[in-house]
Structure 1
Amino acid sequence: MTDYLALATEVGAIARRAGAAILEIYESEDFGVELKADDSPLTRADRAANGVIEAGLRALTFQAPIISEEGDNVTYATRSQFTRFWLVDPLDGTKEFIKRNGDFTVNIALVESGKPVLGVVYVPVTDELFYSAPGQGAWQVNGAAGEPVRIAAASFTLQDPNLRIVASRSHLNQETQDIIDRFDRPELVQRGSSLKIIELARGGAHVYPRLAPTMEWDTAAAHAILLEAGGRMVDEETGKDLRYNKPSLLNPYFIAYGKVREELLTC
């Protein structure tokens, strides 16, 4: 039987090594910025981190296929046969990286039967590591010598005043603003990358409406952590939990949130 908590620790070490490779380029003068076919940016750091992660995952005793934003394309005909796989974004928040604001992460998730069951999110600039294992909680470690501290999502009702609503630094559109305006005196929390979901998992915010495109590798690792912290991520249209390894790796618009108290779920 797989010890998922021990596996998360091993993957956390891989994420730290990828973060070190990212910081080496972050502190240089040349990011080597290019534009991909969809006009999203790609840097030398994306490639360097991906190489570290893929090599690290392949060296583990635990073996599973790898789907990475910066890796080889895997057709749906092939990946539809995967019962479990690693889902990787080696540098989530490339725009934040280029802006040098620190809000970028390394994301590594293990997906089983369409659900993210293990998540690792590493923040290179602050040396914060977040990870989860199924049934064993969500954890935060500050610094290489830090001790793991269990984290939990905040408990609230949707009618509470002054809820902290998370929004993207780069993608705050009118549709998202319309949702934010429904709350009673909301406080806006703007973060980049998967840190938006991590804010929910650590109890620093309550709701994150995302009515703009994201890919599965953008969300899977932090989604796994949020689930273990007591929160959820649901399709904005259907209310169903987000699923992974769909024919298209594009996520639907979604709402992520902490522990909404039971009595409100039926209101």
Structure 2
Amino acid sequence: MKDLPEILAIARTVGWGAAEILQSYYHGTAKDTNLNVQYKQNEPVTVADVTVSQYILQNLQAALGQEDFAYISEETYQSELNHNKNWVWIIDPLDGTSDFIEKTGDYAVHIALVKEHRPVLAVVAIPEAGKLYYATKDGGTFVETRTDAHPLELSLKDASKRLEDLTIVVSRSHRNQRLEYLLAHLPFHNQKSVGSVGCKIATILEQQAEVYISLSGKSAPKDWDIAAPELILTEAGGKFTHFDGTELRYNTGDINQWGGLLASNGQYHQKLCQEAEKILAQFETPSA
């Protein structure tokens, strides 16, 4: 098997290629500009999703083979995982399909390599920002454009910032009553609506927000929504955990990430997790 730096170089190249294909559909320069929007489990799927999924899988498999790795993509995922590999690629070819269709610009490509349930390599490409974030376990986070690359580290330069003054980045579309209650009772004065988990985490990395919360309802975010964004955040010094502080696990047989998840720049992380749990307990056991 190739070493991690070689694998990362391949994944970055594939990430940029995927970003170019998505932009060709987004800006109407693809050969066929009809997105042919369909719905799978109430979620939109376009020709762009499928085309980019094929592109990523074909290129990764051509470079790395299928002997050492299993491959899970949102567009090809089957409920039964027939593999016994320790190394698994978890891919979302187009995270933020609704935003892609609605032309908000908040869409991303997620490519993560998971070893024994934890991410060890991640690429998050944000086409409309012209940026690609990448990280390896214990190797830090980097951001690159077509002309430049540099390390990215979260600095709590304003460590005296009050809890109320933090900005929480929230979903435009995935909302439910419990999440609305939680957001209403958390102390934040500032909310920023952003599509795509990758774009939300980039907002924290770019220090335009400090916190992101995911709370499952009838459905939950999937492994491919979270794995790559988690690693680029944590390797930059942020935190991404369940509300009870436990780490996230992937490729467990259930691709859903149930419960409450909290991502932050690291400031007040444990306190925010505890506060979220307390507020949800009040929601679920209302006073008589």
TM-score interval for Structure 1 and Structure 2 normalised by the shorter chain: 0.7 to 0.9
Q: 1:52 to 1:150 in 2, by over 3 A?
A: same
Q: How does 1:93-108 map to 2 (within 5 A)?
A: 93-108=96-111
Maintained 8 Å contact 2:245/2:270:
no
CA displacement 1:147-206 (0-9 Å, x = unmatched):
212222353589533101110111233433333344444311211112112222343321
Q: Which residue, 210, 219, 240 being the options, matches 2:246?
A: 240
CA displacement 1:119-174 (0-9 Å, x = unmatched):
101112222101001111111112x12x2122223535895331011101112334
**Cα separation, 2, equivalents of 1:262 and 1:49:** 35
Matched, 1:64 2:69: yes
Q: 1:174 to 1:4 in 2, by over 3 A?
A: same
Matched, 1:84 2:87: yes
Q: How does 1:3-152 map to 2 (within 5 A)?
A: 3-28=3-28, 29-36=33-40, 38-61=41-64, 63-73=68-78, 75-76=80-81, 78-79=82-83, 81-142=84-145, 144-145=146-147, 147-152=148-153
Structure 2 match to 1:191: 194
Identity score, percent: 29
Gaps of 5+ in 2: 275-288
Matched, 1:255 2:262: yes
**Cα separation, 2, equivalents of 1:97 and 1:262:** 31
CA displacement 1:54-110 (0-9 Å, x = unmatched):
01111224752111111252624x24x221110000011110111011110111000
**Cα separation, 2, equivalents of 1:120 and 1:18:** 11
- The amino acid of 2:90's aligned partner reads L
Q: Which residue, 217, 221, 225 being the options, matches 1:214?
A: 221
Maintained 8 Å contact 1:26/1:97:
yes
> If you compute each CA radius of gyration, which structure gives the higher value, 1 or 2?
2
Residue 52 (structure 1) shift: 0.9
- Of the structure 1 ranges 238-247 and 81-90, higher mean CA displacement relative to structure 2 is found in 238-247
- The amino acid of 2:49's aligned partner reads D
**Cα separation, 2, equivalents of 1:22 and 1:82:** 30
**Cα separation, 2, equivalents of 1:164 and 1:44:** 35
TM-score by length of structure 2 reads 0.82
Structure 2 match to 1:170: 173
Maintained 8 Å contact 1:179/1:209:
no
- The amino acid of 1:259's aligned partner reads G
- The amino acid of 1:92's aligned partner reads D
Matched, 1:201 2:209: no
- The count of residues paired between Structure 1 and Structure 2 equals 261
Maintained 8 Å contact 2:110/2:224:
yes
TM-score by length of structure 1 reads 0.88
- The amino acid of 1:260's aligned partner reads Q
Maintained 8 Å contact 2:134/2:232:
yes
**Cα separation, 2, equivalents of 1:65 and 1:104:** 25
Cα RMSD, aligned residues only = 2.5
- Of the structure 1 ranges 252-261 and 102-111, higher mean CA displacement relative to structure 2 is found in 252-261
Maintained 8 Å contact 1:64/1:86:
yes
